[in-house]
């Protein structure tokens, strides 16, 4: 039988590397537990940036940010469940900057890690770096 | 050399550079600006755009060598920006176009490459990695080889539209590397394609493919040209080679589905239906293409007869097209029309009711469909009313006349009225003469 096009389409080509996150504000005791409201923007070993609801926090607030794989079931999330889960990265951060992004109700937060970056956080950065390297290979091959 | 050392060395090189950024996310924009400052680009020479139109204006006014662009907009904006940039800076030796995307899949990278972007940064990213990529990109360009200068020179002439001069430049070019030979062959192919000599261009691309059987843009252009020329067997062969070696560009899914239909690979449509869940995180454009392809596939299948007419497959395709394409009225119209063809009137009614709630209630296409549905449902009076309103609005397709005349006969309208409608219709469409026996019988 002649090979069809669909025999050659790899579904994993469409797979994105994704993590979800939710936040608990330790200063104002508010929590935002809807992952769809957050987007990760960039990482450095000392800071990371997220797009999040404006009401989340103000400058100087301390937050607990939970970052977890996209595959984790998100229904009826609670802080206790997140703290107990094995594949959830919990980071304590301070809000260092806020930027308006022209999207009503949302802004960019620049968050500074408290203390040194944990191994798990550095592993997360590395995961995205090596994924980026794979994308670079695709771009290079296509040139 | 470490990255910091290489950055230091390149500072003089970047001192006269300009950059433009279109990125709605302020934190990302600031991270980019910070990288540019580290590389030695003056912050006064970094321009920020709030929308695509502004970005184009910045490109035209300031000619920034480096452009960062987010995929915040759906549509073909990357390709448009690349074309705009090439017109402003036709020599690409010092340019760098970087696309940012939250969809960090291989397919997204493939699509960006095809649109002409040089690099892709996926979010979330690390600023250090961005800097590294930029330093690496310019490593060969700070002291370019003679071959690179000559090839970029030919490319510049092509971008300026000076195709004959570009051909002359390439005729006197002697490649010193395999990549150089490949590139000059490719540029020759581009010249022929831009001149409209498609067959000759294909020969040129095939020449490259004989050296490098998986040369990406040669395969892409050969596929596109074959598809345009309706040489579907050839298109299929190029598509296979592309898919075997590269991630699928989501924008091609629609074309691949059409290819499945015209090459009678109908079982492939089922596969495309199952792809829906896998690709729904790849962005709206992808899903629109898939929905459109499934709608087209189903439409074609509905025209087949006998055993070839697989109603189960048709319905599967239509169902998936509705599931993912419900925001696209043209796709929904095609789906509704196919449901009508296969007699699934309830589905048609559901779609028509839903789509005609808003502005589309005045749309001629949807009103025609509504008229056809009413007729099929036996609601002849209502069908006639919709038809007459369309004619009153000076919308005169043959089908409107046909259904209006048949409806009028069914509800025993005044024979003179029917005859006048018939005369009006047959004046425009002689094929309506097939209704003459019906009109004569009044």
Average the pLDDT over each of A92-101, B45-54, B69-78, B217-226 and give the range with the smallest value: B69-78
Measured between alpha carbons, how far is residue B110 from residues A134, B290, B412 in Å?
Answer: 12, 17, 62
**B123/A129 touch (CB, cutoff 8 Å), yes or no:** no
| Alpha-helical runs (H) found in B89-145 | 106-115, 127-142
pLDDT band at B14 (very low <50, low <70, confident <90, very high): very high
CA-CA-CA-CA dihedral for B69, B73, B79, B83, to nearest 10: -70
pLDDT at site B8: 76
- Give me Rg for the CA atoms of chain B: 28
Cis peptide before B124 (omega within 30 of 0): yes
pLDDT at site B74: 65
φ, ψ dihedrals at B205, nearest 5°? -65, -35
Q: What would the pLDDT profile of A8-54 be if each residue is shown by its tens digit?
A: 888 888 888 889 999 999 999 988 888 888 989 999 999 999 999 98
ipTM here? 0.91
Q: CA B65 to CA B18: how far, in whole Å?
A: 6
Average the pLDDT over each of A32-36, B57-61, B111-115, B380-384 and give the range with the smallest value: A32-36
Q: Which residue of A has its CA nearest to B50?
A: A102
Looking at CA atoms only, how far is residue B215 from chain A in angstroms?
8
pLDDT at site B283: 65
Q: CA B182 to CA B209: how far, in whole Å?
A: 9
Average pLDDT (B34-40) is 94
Q: CA B331 to CA B106: how far, in whole Å?
A: 27
- Within 8 A by CB and 6+ apart from A13, the residues are B105, B106, B107, B110, B247, B248
- Within 8 A by CB and 6+ apart from A33, the residues are A22, A77, A78, A79
- Within 8 A by CB and 6+ apart from B266, the residues are B260, B297, B301, B310, B313
Q: Are B281 and A18 in contact (CB under 8 A)?
A: yes
The helix (run of H) or strand (run of E) holding residue A20 is: strand A19-25
Q: Please tell me what DSSP assigns to residue B125.
A: B
pLDDT at site B434: 94
pLDDT band at B282 (very low <50, low <70, confident <90, very high): low
Measured between alpha carbons, how far is residue B192 from residues B157, B162, B166, B188, B220 in Å?
Answer: 14, 12, 11, 6, 15
Q: What would the pLDDT profile of B247-256 be if each residue is shown by its tens digit?
A: 988 888 888 8
pLDDT band at B430 (very low <50, low <70, confident <90, very high): very high
pLDDT band at A2 (very low <50, low <70, confident <90, very high): low
- Of the ranges A66-75, B9-18, B207-216, which is most confident? B207-216
**A108/B256 touch (CB, cutoff 8 Å), yes or no:** no
**B243/A41 touch (CB, cutoff 8 Å), yes or no:** no
Which residues on A lie below 8 Å from B258 (Cβ)? none
Which residues on B lie below 8 Å from A12 (Cβ)? 106
Percent of chain B with pLDDT over 90: 72
* Candidate from A40, A136, A138 with C-beta closest to B124: A40
Residue among B72, B92, B126 with most chain A CBs within 10 A, to mutate: B126
Average pLDDT (A76-89) is 83
pLDDT greater than 60 at residue B427? yes
**A102/B122 touch (CB, cutoff 8 Å), yes or no:** no
Looking at CA atoms only, how far is residue B218 from chain A in angstroms?
10
| Alpha-helical runs (H) found in B280-344 | 284-302, 311-325, 329-341
Reduced to 3 states (helix: H, G, I; strand: E, B; else coil), residue A74 is: coil
pLDDT at site B43: 94
Q: What would the pLDDT profile of B132-176 be if each residue is shown by its tens digit?
A: 999 999 998 888 999 999 999 999 999 999 999 999 999 999 888
pLDDT band at B18 (very low <50, low <70, confident <90, very high): very high
* Candidate from B216, B240, B259 with C-beta closest to A141: B216
Q: Which residue of B has its CA nearest to A49?
A: B27
Mean pLDDT of chain A: 89
Mean pLDDT of chain B: 91
pLDDT at site B286: 72
Number of Cβ within a 10 Å radius of residue A33: 16
Q: What would the pLDDT profile of B82-139 be if each residue is shown by its tens digit?
A: 999 999 999 999 999 999 998 889 998 999 999 999 999 999 999 999 999 999 999 9
Query: Could you say which residues from 36 to 55 on chain A have a Cβ atom under 8 Å away from some Cβ of chain B?
Result: 39-44, 48-49, 51
Please tell me the pTM assigned to this model.
0.83
Among the listed residues B66, B67, B72, the one whose alpha carbon sits nearest the alpha carbon of residue B24:
B72
Q: Are A111 and A97 in contact (CB under 8 A)?
A: no
Q: CA B133 to CA B120: how far, in whole Å?
A: 10
Reduced to 3 states (helix: H, G, I; strand: E, B; else coil), residue B203 is: helix
Measured between alpha carbons, how far is residue B219 from residues A136, B105, B231, B239 in Å?
Answer: 20, 21, 14, 8
Which residues on A lie below 8 Å from B122 (Cβ)? 17, 128, 131-132, 135
- Which residue bears the tokens 């074959």? B226
Q: Which two tokens stand for residue B369?
A: 């469909």
Which residues on B lie below 8 Å from A128 (Cβ)? 122, 124-126
């Amino acid at each position: 039988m002649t090979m069809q096009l669909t025999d050659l389409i790899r579904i994993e080509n469409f797979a994105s590397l994704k993590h979800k996150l939710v936040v608990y504000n330790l200063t104002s005791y508010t929590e935002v537990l809807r992952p769809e409201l957050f987007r990760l923007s960039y990482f450095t070993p000392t800071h990371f940036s997220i797009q999040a609801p404006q009401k989340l926090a103000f400058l100087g607030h301390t937050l607990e940010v939970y970052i977890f794989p996209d595959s984790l079931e998100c229904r009826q999330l609670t802080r206790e469940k997140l703290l107990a889960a094995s594949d959830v990265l919990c980071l304590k951060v301070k809000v260092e900057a806020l930027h308006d992004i022209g999207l009503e109700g949302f802004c960019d937060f620049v968050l500074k890690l408290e203390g040194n970056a944990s191994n798990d956080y550095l592993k997360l950065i590395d995961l995205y770096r090596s994924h980026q390297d794979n994308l670079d290979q695709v771009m290079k091959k296509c040139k | 050399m470490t990255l910091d050392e290489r950055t230091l060395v390149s500072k003089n090189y970047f001192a006269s550079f300009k950059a433009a950024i279109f990125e709605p996310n302020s934190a990302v924009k600031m991270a980019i600006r910070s990288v540019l400052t580290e590389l030695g680009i003056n912050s006064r020479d970094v321009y920020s755009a709030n929308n695509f139109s502004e970005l184009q204006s910045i490109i035209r006014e300031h000619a920034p060598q480096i452009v960062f662009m987010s995929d915040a907009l759906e549509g073909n904006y990357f390709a448009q920006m690349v074309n705009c940039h090439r017109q402003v800076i036709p020599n690409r030796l010092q340019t760098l176009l970087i696309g940012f995307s939250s969809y960090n899949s291989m397919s997204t990278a493939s699509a960006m490459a095809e649109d002409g972007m040089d690099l892709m940064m996926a979010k979330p990213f690390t600023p250090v990695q961005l800097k590294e990529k930029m330093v690496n990109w310019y490593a060969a360009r700070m002291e370019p080889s003679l071959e690179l200068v000559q090839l970029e020179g030919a490319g510049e002439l092509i971008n300026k539209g000076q195709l004959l001069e570009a051909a002359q430049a390439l005729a006197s070019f002697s490649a010193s590397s395999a990549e150089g030979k490949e590139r000059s062959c490719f540029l020759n192919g581009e010249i022929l394609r831009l001149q409209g000599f498609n067959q000759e261009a294909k020969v040129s691309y095939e020449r490259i493919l004989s050296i490098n059987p998986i040369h990406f843009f040669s395969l892409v252009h050969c596929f596109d040209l074959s598809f345009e020329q309706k040489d579907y067997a050839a298109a299929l062969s190029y598509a296979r080679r592309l898919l075997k070696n590269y991630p699928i560009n989501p924008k091609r899914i629609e074309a691949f589905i059409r290819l499945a239909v015209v090459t009678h690979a109908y079982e492939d449509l089922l596969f495309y239906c199952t792809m829906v869940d896998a690709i729904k995180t790849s962005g709206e454009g992808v899903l629109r293409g898939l929905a459109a392809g499934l709608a087209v596939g189903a439409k074609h299948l509905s025209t087949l007869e006998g055993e070839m007419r697989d109603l189960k497959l048709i319905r599967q395709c239509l169902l998936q097209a509705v599931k993912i394409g419900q925001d696209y009225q043209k796709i929904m119209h095609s789906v509704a029309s196919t449901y009508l063809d296969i007699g699934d009137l309830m589905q048609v009614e559901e779609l028509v009711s839903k789509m005609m709630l808003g502005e589309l209630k005045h749309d001629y296409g949807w009103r025609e469909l509504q008229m056809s549905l009413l007729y099929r449902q036996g609601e002849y009076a209502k069908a006639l009313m919709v038809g007459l309103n369309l004619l009153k609005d000076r919308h005169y397709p043959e089908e409107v006349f046909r259904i209006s005349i048949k409806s009028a006969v069914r509800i025993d309208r005044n024979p003179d009225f029917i005859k006048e409608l018939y005369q009006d219709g047959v004046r425009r469409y002689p094929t309506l003469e097939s209704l003459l026996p019906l009109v004569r019988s009044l």
